[in-house]
């Protein structure tokens, strides 16, 4: 196990009817800005629940944080936060709204010049407006981490940052809010969670048996619950279990002491930046190819995964790995993600651009920080 130091200070408030607890979770004297996305919270009753809970509080709202939240949009909200002297940001929606809100919170207090530097140059976040969230889409784990991913229209970039200042103070997870999600959103969320686990698990081993078992527990639960949510979308228990998996997929704990990869995400982010493809779909496309291409370097964990998750064993390790990858792809299809590279617009031109980006990275991408543009081209070539 590697040395580590970690604290996750997010209070998790989980279950039916918990949105009403906003009343006690946000100080009465706070000046709140509620941030949300395209308005689905107005259709599914979440907006009304939030409003009811905050009766008596002082709040404003900003609706319109888009999927893959844009720097340009966030900077508009930063102006509003400063102008209105907002001291609490309440994100209501999915991971995109929350990621945008985290960045707004940091950018509003940033004094080093252009806040884009936080993303592009790793400029330190020294302070941020306080954040809370009502999470309505189980996928990103953003509700329980200090990470945000922001895109910039003008440069077609999609970049991540993290900072201890960007943990929400609390997250409210009411599985009932997820029942109105589209099948597409549910599928994306399941795959996103699955791939988060993979980025922290499918790496060269450093003797972390408990972390491995916890990661495998998330895989197994996703695999068990996915057919249930397809068959019975209004089942509260299933929704609750999927929601809890998403939080654990990226609350940081399964990664502590382990080697991490994030190569699939790096390639996936570039595909989204260049083609607009949903994040979850880029991951479903890229992950199997990464595993196949890096099968030697990830061999021990791929074999462990094959055996513990799918019950596949055998003397021919290549065959075992191929079968495990094939089962993984089948699981993504079962979750509902079936489109191909061609349909996502991942042309040769797009592949070349991503390979060029990989070449500029210092350190390079991957768990061993050794992924070249040529490797990226080979991986993208393996994508179906």
Is 3 a binding residue for a second copy by CB under 8 A? The answer is yes
Of the candidates 70, 3, 63, 1, the residue with the CA atom closest to the CA atom of residue 33: 63
Question: Cβ closer to a second copy: 241 or 272?
Answer: 241
Residue 374 in contact with a second copy, rule: CB under 8 A: no
How many of the chain's residues bind a second copy (CB under 8 A)?
44
Q: Which of the stretches 35-43, 107-115, 253-261, 299-307 binds a second copy when contact is defined by CB under 8 A?
A: 253-261
How do strand 88-93 and strand 157-162 relate by DSSP bridges?
unpaired
- Which of 179, 214, 377, 382 forms a contact with a second copy (CB under 8 A)? 214
- With CB under 8 A as the contact rule, the residue among 155, 182, 207, 260 that binds a second copy is 207
Near a second copy by CB under 8 A: residue from 61, 66, 117, 216: 216
Contact call for residue 234 and a second copy (CB under 8 A): no
The DSSP H or E segment spanning 113 is none
Query: Closer to a second copy at the Cβ: 61 or 236?
Result: 236
Among 72, 114, 127, 224, binds a second copy (CB under 8 A): 224
Contact window for a second copy (CB under 8 A) among 48-56, 92-100, 206-214, 293-301? 206-214
Burial code (b: 16+ CB inside 10 Å, e: under 16) for 79-115 equals: eebeeeebebbbbbbbbbbbbbbbbbbbbbbbeeeeb
CA torsion, ordered 119, 337, 381, 294, to nearest 10 deg: 70
Interface residue with a second copy, options 153, 183, 220, 319 (CB under 8 A): 220
Q: Which stretch binds a second copy (CB under 8 A): 31-39, 58-66, 119-127, 218-226?
A: 218-226
In whole angstroms, the minimum distance from the beta carbon of 222 to a second copy comes to 9
Report in angstroms the alpha-carbon separations of 290 from 67, 81, 342.
25, 41, 18
DSSP string, 315-359: S-HHHHHHHHHHHHHHHHHHHT----TTTTT--HHHHHHHHHHHH
Distance CA 362, CA 262 (A): 15
Interface mask toward a second copy for 6-45; x: CB under 8 A = xxxxxxxxxxxxx--x------------------------
DSSP state of 177: G
46: nearest Cα among 129, 130, 166, 133: 133
The tokens 């997010």 sit on which residue? Answer: 10
231 sits near a second copy (criterion: CB under 8 A): no
On the 0-12 / 13-18 / 19+ scale of CB atoms within 10 A, 369 is: exposed
Member of 90, 245, 320, 358 binding a second copy (CB under 8 A):
245
- Distance from the Cα of residue 37 to its chain's centroid: 16
Among 27, 39, 112, 209, binds a second copy (CB under 8 A): 209
Indicate which single residue of 178, 208, 277, 292 sits in contact with a second copy (rule: CB under 8 A).
Answer: 208
* 84 φ, ψ (degrees, to nearest 5): -90, 0
Segment lying near a second copy (by CB under 8 A), choices 251-259, 266-274, 299-307, 333-341: 251-259
> Which of positions 129-188 make contact with a second copy (CB under 8 A)?
170
Q: Which residues here bind a second copy, judged by CB under 8 A?
A: 1-18, 21, 170, 207-214, 216-218, 220-221, 224-225, 237, 240-241, 244-245, 248, 253, 256-257
């Amino acid at each position: 196990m590697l040395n580590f130091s970690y604290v996750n200070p997010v209070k998790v408030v989980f279950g039916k009817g918990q949105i009403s607890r906003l009343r006690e979770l946000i100080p009465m004297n706070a000046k709140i800005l509620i941030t949300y996305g395209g308005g689905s919270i107005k259709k599914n009753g979440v907006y009304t629940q939030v409003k009811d809970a905050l009766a008596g509080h002082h709040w404003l709202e900003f609706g319109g944080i888009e999927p893959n939240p844009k720097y340009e949009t966030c900077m508009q909200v930063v102006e509003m936060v400063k102008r209105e002297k907002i001291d609490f940001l309440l994100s209501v929606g999915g991971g995109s709204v929350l990621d945008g809100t985290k960045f707004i919170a940091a950018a509003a207090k940033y004094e080093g010049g252009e806040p884009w530097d936080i993303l592009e140059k790793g400029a330190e976040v020294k302070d941020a407006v306080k954040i809370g969230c009502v999470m309505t889409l189980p996928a990103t784990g953003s509700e329980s981490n200090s990470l945000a991913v922001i895109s910039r229209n003008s440069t077609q970039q999609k970049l991540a940052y993290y900072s201890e200042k960007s943990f929400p103070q609390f997250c409210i997870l009411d599985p009932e809010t997820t029942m109105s999600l589209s099948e597409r959103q549910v599928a994306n969320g399941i795959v996103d969670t699955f791939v988060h686990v993979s980025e922290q698990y499918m790496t060269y081993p450093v003797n972390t048996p408990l972390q491995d078992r916890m990661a495998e527990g998330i895989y197994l639960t996703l695999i068990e619950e996915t057919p249930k949510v397809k068959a019975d979308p209004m089942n509260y228990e299933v929704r609750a279990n999927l929601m809890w998996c998403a939080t654990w997929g990226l609350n940081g704990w399964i990664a502590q002491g382990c080697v991490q990869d994030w190569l699939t995400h790096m390639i996936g982010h570039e595909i989204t930046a260049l083609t607009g493809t949903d994040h979850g779909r880029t991951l479903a496309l890229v992950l199997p190819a990464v595993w196949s291409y890096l099968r030697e370097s990830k061999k021990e964990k791929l074999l462990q995964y094959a055996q513990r998750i799918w019950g596949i064993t055998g003397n021919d390790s290549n065959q075992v790995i191929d079968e495990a990858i094939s089962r993984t792809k089948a699981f993504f299809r079962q979750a509902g993600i079936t489109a191909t590279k061609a349909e996502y617009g991942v042309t040769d031109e797009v592949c070349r651009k991503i390979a060029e980006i990989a070449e500029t990275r210092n350190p390079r991408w991957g768990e061993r920080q050794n992924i070249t543009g040529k490797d990226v081209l080979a991986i993208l070539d393996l994508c179906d």
